[in-house]
Amino acid sequence: MDPGHNGQNYRHTSEINRMVDAGGFRKACNTTGTAGKGLTEPEFTWLVSQALQSDLTALGASVVMTRTNNDGWGPCIDARGQVAATNHAAALVSIHADGADASAHGFHVIHPAPGPTVSAQVAASSTALATALRDALVAAGFATSTYAGRNGLIQRSDLGTLNRAATPAVIIELGNMRNAGDLADMTSPGSRQKMAAAIADATARWVAGTR
């Protein structure tokens, strides 16, 4: 489980701007993330990931978090992926929020393309996991993105966390923090719990189906 960014990244610009191996190319270690009125992306991802960890644990999963609080900086994108690889994780789920035009709304799930560090098998499994997560979030009442991907799914080759995971991996952009409707869901404890419950159930079912 990867809560995107970190609460103190903005205080560590030299560290997060350091270039790292993002899967056959170099990219900045991390970013500060985006924000909506009264809520930052690192805080949002931390809150959802805590609920998600609790839900997954209740379902019998063993959950490893890439960070254990929202008071530090990092880890870098390569290290986040390598947490999954080192722990031989069944899957990596990275929680994020987007910062797009205020008129754009909805969530999308990003899955990796085959490449130097992503096998065709891992890419195909990641697509299946992304689809399961998309379907669960739609069933929970959340709308797919109006501005990114197609039907809530998008494949990308430029994201180090996915490229370095060595296991099925996805990034979920749970909405646009600059859109009033999406931000209302993100600031609502009840909506965050619905997001977490849908993601936990879909992830647990998908992992069980691959065993």
Q: Is 43 a catalytic residue?
A: no
Residues contacting residue 154 through CB under 8 Å, at least 6 positions apart: 108, 109, 110, 111, 148
Question: What length is written for the chain?
Answer: 211
Buried b (16+ CB within 10 A) or exposed e, 82-104: bbbeeeebbbbbbbbbbbbeeeb
DSSP H helical segments within 40-179, as ranges?
A: 41-58, 77-86, 120-139, 160-163
- Please state, in angstroms and as integers, the Cα–Cα distance from residue 89 to each residue in 30, 82, 168, 170, 198, following that order: 22, 10, 9, 13, 20
Residue 59 exposed, middle or buried by CB count within 10 Å (0-12, 13-18, 19+):
middle
Secondary structure class of 117 (helix, strand, coil): coil
DSSP H helical segments within the chain, as ranges?
A: 13-16, 41-58, 77-86, 120-139, 160-163, 180-187, 189-210
Separation of alpha carbons 170 and 157, rounded Å = 12
Task: Exactly one of 15, 41, 43, 173 is catalytic; name it.
Answer: 173
Enzyme catalytic residues: 173
